[in-house]
Amino acid sequence: MFTPLRRRPRRLRASATLRRLVRETSVTPDDLILPLFVSETIAERAAVGSMPGVFQLTVAEAAEEAAGAWGDGVRAVLLFGIPRHKDEQASGAYDDGGIVQQAVRAIRAAVPGMLIITDVCLCEYMSHGHCGVTHLEGGCLEVLNDASLKLLAKTALSHAAAGADIVAPSDMMDGRVAAIREALDGGGFEKTAIMSYAAKFASAFYGPFRDAAQSAPQAGDRKGYQMDPGNALEALREVALDVEEAADFVMVKPGLAYLDVLWRVKERFEMPTAVYHVSGEYAMVKAAAANGWLDERATVLETMTAFKRAGADLIITYAARDVARWVAEDAAE
């Protein structure tokens, strides 16, 4: 008979083998997506100072990095492009010879089995750095939603034509999933999936990314279209709209500061759900580890486990290759 006061031995924690045997949540390489920055402005890889271990890559180097990731067990990459030319119509985003389109073709040739996801946004290609078409009136900068949808749909269609498996709109314009789905279906790309940045918050954790992607706004900020960090119920409404518009995956971004939102999204919608372990989260661990304040491997693996435990099916992380190797090493012990 069970007696509450009886001391219970910690039998199932006695060894690493036992702990693995009864572990409720595990991370595998199949859970991981590696972001890559591909640039037209460089002749060879360039280190991102605020993100140790992350580089801007040429097209050829992106294909090599994808091949290396495949060898580590990572089966998906997410591409961000840095064009040579920027303008107020983001023309480089939907240029069939653009940097992302080139990278998709190169990676497909080098690693045929790799799942290729492309970020669909306009900020890297706009001269002003915002995620859509802008209008300035009376000193007030406005991002025009419907005009931006047309360019986002053109961009997604161009990525699909280049061979992308999944397009991932990150702009947070209203109605962009429906606009992209209509463009893809109309262009004969019914099988191209959409991974929506459905709950993307206006976060302080994006700074290193904007350094890497050269995408910081030249004026104003993105709080008018990205979500307020205090609004979890609004996040559920945003996700519901994207699901209704036929998103195949939904995403919560950032990760650690929004684990509650991630949990609610997975519980409410039961959709394939991604989380983005963003640049600031990655950089903080790197900095702390470099100073000897944290064990990088243990901290990153615990973070990945937290994402899975909170409901993530997929984890986008700059540490994907390291995580895949560490997981494999632990399994081999």
Which of 86, 150, 154, 200 is catalytic? The answer is: 200
Burial of 44 (0-12, 13-18, 19+ CB in 10 A): exposed
Number of Cβ within 10 Å of residue 228's Cβ equals: 10
The two three-digit tokens of residue 308, written as one number: 């899975």
The two three-digit tokens of residue 39, written as one number: 């640039």
Which of these, 63, 142, 141, lies nearest to 102 by C-alpha position?
Answer: 63
Which of 86, 253, 286, 308 is catalytic? The answer is: 253
Which of these, 261, 263, 255, lies nearest to 282 by C-alpha position?
Answer: 255
The conformation of residue 126, written as its DSSP 8-state character, comes to B
Query: Is-catalytic flag, 253?
Result: yes
The two three-digit tokens of residue 233, written as one number: 């119920």
Q: Vertex 88, ends 85 and 93: CA angle to 5°?
A: 55
Burial of 6 (0-12, 13-18, 19+ CB in 10 A): exposed
Query: Is-catalytic flag, 200?
Result: yes
Strand pairing class (140-144; 133-137): antiparallel
Which of these, 227, 214, 208, 215, lies nearest to 318 by C-alpha position?
Answer: 208
Element (H, E) at 194: strand 193-200
In the block, tokens 């030319």 appear at: 85
CB 11 within 8 A of CB 292: no
Which of these, 191, 182, 186, 152, lies nearest to 170 by C-alpha position?
Answer: 152
Burial of 174 (0-12, 13-18, 19+ CB in 10 A): middle
Distance CA 307, CA 277 (A): 9
Q: Which positions are catalytic?
A: 200, 253
